[in-house]
């Protein structure tokens, strides 16, 4: 089998892209797919990722490796044991980094370090008890120094007890389509080889996606690499891209990789440590970053800020309140001995990255990540261009994963605001579900229309006045689909309004509650009775999540327990996070009503974490 796969990959190199694509389809449908799906069941996967909160394409999540839990988005400061600037211990104690990255190849090549690592383990060598990721040295091959077989470095990473290792990929220089394709195919062969070398189950491994910024090659690479049991996928960013500030190519690489690998797999951007670009990369769905930029910039006399990297000669002030800047005078800094200055700059730069990561995580919590990205994009025209490209190329993806309603208002933050997925999707729904060109005033309190502060002319309301029944029916159509409103909410309902604000609060049929209107975003929250009515109106599987499992599990959901992703048998694939959903058993009998945490296409694919937060179970 192994021989056959390698032979196949060799043949692929000789074909045109069109032929290759056609072939690939047959390839999956035949031997390769069958053999490797059996293989996949055999290999135990070490790491399970779960989403806790989200915004844009970003995932605030967590995973556990060797008993240690880390939160994503995760930044790994890179430590080079040959050129120590900030020790791993200081990274942990002063900055709170629970995970770092170092290079297994550098340790392997240095006899003293190698012996110590083999004797004391990587954690002993680094004097660090957090999570250690190690790179394998593939990047060093750019410099032509590499004489390394994958077997040596995979075994070495296992022998020194790393937490997360990286396969030895074949990087590309991002020069041409052919050169990138070569690297995709050679890396896939290495992936196959890796799967025969891996011996220790507790170590998590990263597989590497190649393909430059060519969407079709990235797709090919993701499909090939997904056949192996990697825990995380890392994207090989050709140095050429970041050296020339080509953020657009970097973003397109990330976006296409994210769209083509399982949502359950964390995605790692190799070597990305410029704080300017981190928020954009998180927004497209990158989960892990590593970089030595804080130290590399420091050696070059450069100081990171939120609006770009400055040379210290340019600085008359230190625009930062980190502990090292507060205790430093800018005049002193300029005349400081080089070695001391490098230490100062490295410490400041690392604080800067930490602050940006915290700002990003807080923005996800508040659902205003796109606005943070838009602000950062003002620091460099190339960054703004890449954001616009990301909005366009990622539209179908963001439409599926960006939450349907948000905690924060949508603020106008520049021309590209009209490309924001929340806004485009909402306007598309008005057209498709309500058949209107202009937004009915009935939606003037519903997200995002009621919560947006935009330039005039972006939102065009029809200016008509609607009575309460018409209003609530239009909201139901917007939320659940064409013509749902008139069936869900009959003529004889009682609409309860707030005495204080005069706004609609609850909808009743006689003494039975159908639903309530959420004051913050104007969406309908269904009662069980409302969910039953909706289920009768909508054809399966619309807005449904089907749970499978034993009686005990079904009983838990009926009593109001959340639905875990791994118990989702199937669902409406078009469900968007934060949508109101109906939870049913395999026979389409109602179990509960709640809100989606995952997108429909993600449900069942995550082995850990909640797919639907249940508000009310039928036997509660
Ligand atoms: Zn500072």
The CATH number of residue 194's host domain is 3.20.20.105
- Model confidence pLDDT, tens digit, residues 491-535: 999 999 999 989 999 999 999 999 999 999 999 999 999 999 999
- Interacting residues of 339 by C-beta distance below 8 A, sequence separation 6+: none
| Residue 488 and residue 590 in one domain | no
pLDDT at 614: 98
**If you measure from the C-alpha of residue 292 to the centroid of ligand 1, how many angstroms do you get, rounded to a whole number?**
17
**If you measure from the C-alpha of residue 302 to the centroid of ligand 1, how many angstroms do you get, rounded to a whole number?**
12
Alpha helices in 495-585 (DSSP H): 528-537, 551-558
Total tally of structural domains belonging to the chain: 3
| Residue 518 and residue 560 in one domain | no
pLDDT above 70 for 68: yes
pLDDT at 143: 57
| Residue 184 and residue 274 in one domain | yes
Tell me how many degrees the CA angle 355-360-361 measures, rounded to the nearest 5: 100
pLDDT above 80 for 271: yes
Indicate the helix (H) or strand (E) that contains 422.
Answer: helix 421-434
Per-residue pLDDT band for 31 (boundaries 50, 70, 90) equals very low
**If you measure from the C-alpha of residue 380 to the centroid of ligand 1, how many angstroms do you get, rounded to a whole number?**
21
**If you measure from the C-alpha of residue 328 to the centroid of ligand 1, how many angstroms do you get, rounded to a whole number?**
9
Residue range 437-461: average pLDDT? 94
Low-confidence winner among 35-39, 71-75, 236-240, 356-360 (lowest mean pLDDT): 35-39
Asked if 386 and 248 touch (Cβ cutoff 8 Å), the reply is yes
Asked if 49 and 288 touch (Cβ cutoff 8 Å), the reply is no
- Strands 58-65, 49-55: pairing kind: antiparallel
pLDDT at 1: 37
Asked if 495 and 488 touch (Cβ cutoff 8 Å), the reply is no
**CA dihedral defined by 211, 213, 216, 222, rounded to 10 degrees?**
50
- CA distance readout (Å), 174 to 142, 286, 294: 12, 20, 25
CA torsion through residues 174, 177, 183, 184, sign: positive
- Model confidence pLDDT, tens digit, residues 194-227: 999 999 989 999 999 999 999 999 999 999 999 8
**If you measure from the C-alpha of residue 378 to the centroid of ligand 1, how many angstroms do you get, rounded to a whole number?**
21
| Residue 63 and residue 125 in one domain | yes
Q: Tell me whether residue 20 is in a domain.
A: no
CATH, residue 512: 3.10.450.90
| Residue 284 and residue 324 in one domain | yes
Q: Tell me whether residue 185 is in a domain.
A: yes
- Strands 131-135, 512-517: pairing kind: unpaired
Asked whether the bond before 367 is cis by omega within 30 degrees of 0, the reply is: no
ipTM for the assembly? 1.00
| Residue 521 and residue 555 in one domain | no
Other beta carbons within 10 angstroms of residue 463's beta carbon come to 9
Other beta carbons within 10 angstroms of residue 477's beta carbon come to 23
Residue range 291-308: average pLDDT? 94
**If you measure from the C-alpha of residue 275 to the centroid of ligand 1, how many angstroms do you get, rounded to a whole number?**
13
pLDDT above 80 for 32: no
**If you measure from the C-alpha of residue 83 to the centroid of ligand 1, how many angstroms do you get, rounded to a whole number?**
22
Q: Tell me whether residue 5 is in a domain.
A: no
| Residue 241 and residue 302 in one domain | yes
| Residue 195 and residue 307 in one domain | yes
Tell me how many degrees the CA angle 17-171-116 measures, rounded to the nearest 5: 155
**If you measure from the C-alpha of residue 329 to the centroid of ligand 1, how many angstroms do you get, rounded to a whole number?**
11
Catalytic residue check, 135: yes
pLDDT above 50 for 411: yes
* Closest by Cα among 447, 471, 411 to 579: 447
Is 420 exposed, middle or buried, given 0-12, 13-18 or 19+ CB atoms closer than 10 A?
Answer: buried
Asked if 376 and 370 touch (Cβ cutoff 8 Å), the reply is no
Give 131's DSSP letter.
E
Separation CA 505–CA 492 (nearest Å)? 17
Q: Which of 374, 398, 422 is the last residue of a domain?
A: 374
Separation CA 417–CA 410 (nearest Å)? 9
| Residue 281 and residue 365 in one domain | yes
- Interacting residues of 94 by C-beta distance below 8 A, sequence separation 6+: none
Residue range 347-357: average pLDDT? 97
| Residue 257 and residue 369 in one domain | yes
pLDDT above 70 for 155: yes
Separation CA 35–CA 54 (nearest Å)? 36
Residue range 113-131: average pLDDT? 97
pLDDT above 70 for 145: no
| Residue 57 and residue 179 in one domain | yes
**If you measure from the C-alpha of residue 324 to the centroid of ligand 1, how many angstroms do you get, rounded to a whole number?**
6
Which tokens sit at 344?
A: 């100062």
**If you measure from the C-alpha of residue 301 to the centroid of ligand 1, how many angstroms do you get, rounded to a whole number?**
14
pLDDT at 616: 97
Q: Tell me whether residue 153 is in a domain.
A: yes
- Model confidence pLDDT, tens digit, residues 87-113: 999 999 999 999 999 999 999 999 999
**If you measure from the C-alpha of residue 38 to the centroid of ligand 1, how many angstroms do you get, rounded to a whole number?**
52
Q: Tell me whether residue 197 is in a domain.
A: yes
**If you measure from the C-alpha of residue 230 to the centroid of ligand 1, how many angstroms do you get, rounded to a whole number?**
38
CA atoms within 13 A on the CB side of 487: 14
**If you measure from the C-alpha of residue 305 to the centroid of ligand 1, how many angstroms do you get, rounded to a whole number?**
9
Q: Tell me whether residue 413 is in a domain.
A: no
**If you measure from the C-alpha of residue 385 to the centroid of ligand 1, how many angstroms do you get, rounded to a whole number?**
29
- Interacting residues of 85 by C-beta distance below 8 A, sequence separation 6+: 294, 295, 298, 342, 343, 346
CATH, residue 576: 2.30.130.10
Region of residue 205 (phi > 0: left; psi between -120 and 50: alpha; otherwise: beta):
beta
pLDDT at 20: 52
Note down the domain range covering 303. Answer: 43-374
pLDDT above 50 for 2: no
Tell the residue number behind the tokens 């032979």, with chain if given.
7
Residue range 437-463: average pLDDT? 94
**If you measure from the C-alpha of residue 322 to the centroid of ligand 1, how many angstroms do you get, rounded to a whole number?**
4
Kindly report the average pLDDT of the chain as a whole number: 91
Query: Of the residues 55, 129, 135, 393, which is catalytic?
Result: 135
Per-residue pLDDT band for 139 (boundaries 50, 70, 90) equals confident
Q: Tell me whether residue 115 is in a domain.
A: yes
pLDDT above 70 for 536: yes
Q: Which of 351, 374, 397 is the last residue of a domain?
A: 374
pLDDT at 10: 53
**If you measure from the C-alpha of residue 470 to the centroid of ligand 1, how many angstroms do you get, rounded to a whole number?**
56
Q: Tell me whether residue 103 is in a domain.
A: yes
| Residue 583 and residue 519 in one domain | no
Asked whether the bond before 541 is cis by omega within 30 degrees of 0, the reply is: yes
Q: Which of 319, 348, 374 is the last residue of a domain?
A: 374
**If you measure from the C-alpha of residue 325 to the centroid of ligand 1, how many angstroms do you get, rounded to a whole number?**
4
């Amino acid at each position: 089998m192994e021989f056959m796969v390698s032979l196949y990959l060799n043949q692929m190199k000789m074909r045109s892209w069109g032929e290759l694509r056609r072939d690939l389809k047959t390839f999956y449908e035949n031997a390769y797919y069958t053999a490797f799906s059996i293989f996949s069941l055999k290999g135990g996967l070490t790491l399970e990722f779960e989403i806790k909160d989200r915004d844009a394409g970003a995932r605030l999540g967590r995973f556990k490796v060797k008993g240690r839990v880390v939160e994503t988005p995760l930044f790994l400061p890179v430590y080079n044991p040959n050129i120590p600037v900030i020790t791993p211990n200081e990274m942990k104690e002063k900055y709170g980094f629970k995970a770092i990255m170092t290079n297994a190849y550098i340790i392997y090549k240095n006899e003293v370090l190698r012996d110590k690592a083999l004797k004391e383990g990587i954690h002993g060598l680094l004097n660090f008890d957090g999570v250690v990721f190690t790179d394998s040295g593939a990047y060093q091959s750019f410099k032509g120094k590499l004489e390394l077989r994958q077997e040596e470095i995979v075994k070495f990473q296992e022998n020194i007890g790393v937490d997360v290792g990286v396969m030895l990929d074949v990087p590309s220089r991002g020069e041409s389509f052919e050169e990138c394709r070569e690297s995709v195919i050679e890396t896939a062969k290495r992936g196959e080889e890796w799967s025969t070398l891996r011996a220790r189950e507790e170590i998590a491994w990263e597989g590497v996606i190649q393909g430059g910024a060519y969407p079709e090659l990235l797709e090919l690479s993701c499909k090939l690499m997904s056949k192996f049991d990697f825990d995380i996928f890392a994207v090989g960013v050709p140095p050429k891209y970041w050296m020339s500030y080509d953020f657009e190519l970097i973003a397109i690489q990330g976006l296409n990789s994210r769209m083509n690998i399982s949502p359950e797999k964390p995605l790692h951007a190799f070597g990305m440590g410029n704080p300017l670009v981190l928020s954009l990369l998180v927004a497209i769905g990158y989960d892990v970053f590593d970089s030595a930029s804080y130290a590399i910039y420091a050696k070059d006399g450069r100081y990171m800020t939120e609006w770009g990297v400055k040379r210290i000669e340019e600085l008359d002030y230190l625009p930062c309140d980190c502990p090292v800047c507060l205790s430093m005078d800018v005049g002193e800094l300029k005349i400081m001995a080089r070695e001391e200055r490098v230490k100062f700059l490295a410490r400041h730069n690392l604080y800067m990255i930490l602050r940006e990561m915290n700002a990003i995580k807080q923005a996800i919590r508040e659902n205003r990540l796109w606005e943070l990205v838009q602000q950062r994009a003002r620091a460099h025209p190339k960054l703004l261009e890449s954001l616009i490209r990301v909005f366009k190329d990622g539209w179908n993806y963001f439409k599926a994963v960006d939450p349907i309603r948000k905690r924060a208002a949508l603020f106008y933050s520049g021309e590209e605001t009209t490309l924001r997925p929340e806004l485009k999707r909402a306007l598309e729904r008005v057209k498709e579900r309500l058949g209107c060109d202009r937004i009915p005033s009935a939606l003037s309190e519903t997200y995002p229309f009621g919560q947006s502060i935009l330039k005039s002319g972006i939102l065009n309301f029809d200016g008509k006045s609607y009575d309460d029944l018409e209003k609530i029916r239009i909201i139901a159509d917007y939320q659940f689909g064409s013509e749902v409103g008139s069936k869900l909410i009959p003529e004889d309902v009682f609409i309860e309004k707030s005495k204080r604000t005069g706004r609609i609060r609850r909808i009743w049929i006689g003494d039975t509650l159908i639903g309530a209107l959420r004051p913050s975003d104007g969406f309908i929250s269904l009662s069980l009775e409302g969910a039953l009515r909706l289920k009768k109106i909508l054809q399966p599987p619309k807005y449904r999540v089907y749970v499978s499992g034993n009686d005990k599990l079904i009983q838990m959901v009926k009593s109001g327990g959340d639905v875990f992703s791994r118990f989702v048998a199937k669902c409406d694939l078009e469900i968007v996070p934060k949508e109101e959903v109906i939870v049913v058993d395999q026979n389409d009998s109602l179990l509960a009503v709640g809100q989606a945490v995952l997108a429909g296409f993600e449900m069942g694919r995550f082995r850990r974490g909640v797919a639907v937060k249940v508000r009310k179970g039928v036997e509660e």
